[in-house]
Amino acid sequence: MQDFLAERIGTNTRRDVLYEQYVKGISETGMQSKNGLDGQLNACWLHKITKPEIERIRSAGFLVSVIHGRHDVIAQIRHARRLAQRLYPVARMVDLHGGHLVSHERTDEVNKSLMELIKASEMKKAPTDWTNLTPETPGYFTRRIALIRTSSEGKNAVSPPSFIMEKFHRCLLFLLGLLVFVFEHARRAFRVVKPVKVGPCLT
C-alpha cells in the first residue's frame, strides 16, 4: 500500500493526488470541518496507535466508546474491535448495523450510545462496570516470552529441564523470526521483478 501511494503521477505522488481529490470532494459536500478532515486523513494514512498512546488514553481517567458500523468495508470492524480491546477496561465496543458513515445511517443509535457515555462519565462509573469486553487471553508466544524474561531476570529459580526447554523455545522463536524475515525479503524481491510481455511470433 505504501509503495502504491508513493508512485509518482506527473510531478506529484499518488498520495498527494488522492489527498487533493478527497479535500475537494469533502469541501464541496460540507460534511466535515478542516480539523476533522485533517484528523481523519492522519488516521487513514498512518492507521496506527502506539503502545504509549494507548497507555496514555487508558490512564487519562475517562471512559471511551468505540462506535463502528459492522458492514464498513473501508475501515473494517476488526480494527475497531482490536482498538477497543487494547483500551480495555475503559472502552466499550458498540457495533451498529451500518457502513462507513454509521453516524449518518444510524443517528439515533449513535446519539444513544454517546448519551450513555456522557451519563456514565457524570456518574463516575468504574471502567469495569462500563466495559462490555472481557480481558484478552495472551497467546502462546506472549506467555513464553513473559516466562523467558522472568527467568532471565532471575525472579524465579529454573530447574535444569525448564532451562533446557527455555533455550529450546528461544531457538524456536529465533528461527520463526528468521523465517518471517527471509520470506518478507523474498516477497519484496519477487515483486520488483516484473514479467516481460512477449508479443505473438510473426514467423
The mean pLDDT of 96-117, rounded to a whole number, is 90
Whether pLDDT at 96 is above 70: yes
Q: In 3D, which of 143, 147, 146, 136 has the Cα closest to residue 54?
A: 136
DSSP 118-173: HHHHHTT--HHHH----PPPP-HHHHHHHHHHHHHTTSS---HHHHHHHHHHHHHH
What percent of the chain is predicted at pLDDT more than 90?
A: 28
Instruction: Indicate left, alpha or beta for 188 from its phi (over 0: left) and psi (-120 to 50: alpha).
Output: alpha
Higher pLDDT, 92 or 15: 92
Residue 31: CA atoms inside 13 Å, Cβ hemisphere, count? 11
pLDDT, one tens digit per residue, over 17-61 is 777 776 776 666 666 666 766 777 776 666 678 889 899 999 999
Lowest mean pLDDT among 19-23, 121-125, 157-161: 157-161
Kindly report whether the peptide bond that precedes residue 161 is cis, defined as omega within 30 degrees of 0.
Answer: no
* Contact between residue 133 and residue 88 where contact means Cβ atoms under 8 Å apart: yes
Residue the block writes with cell 519484496: 188
> Is 166 a residue whose pLDDT tops 90?
no
Three-class SS state of 61: coil
The answer to pTM > 0.75 is no
Amino acid type, 167: K
In the chain, domain spans = 2-130, 140-192
Residue range 163-189: mean pLDDT, rounded? 78
Mean per-residue pLDDT, 175-199: 71
Q: Does residue 80 surpass a pLDDT of 80?
A: yes
Assigned C-alpha cell, 163: 532451562
Question: What is the 3 state secondary structure string of 160-199?
Answer: HHHHHHHHHHHHHHHHHHHHHHHHHHHHHHHHHCCCCCCC
Yes or no: say if 99 and 105 are a contact pair by the CB < 8 Å rule: yes
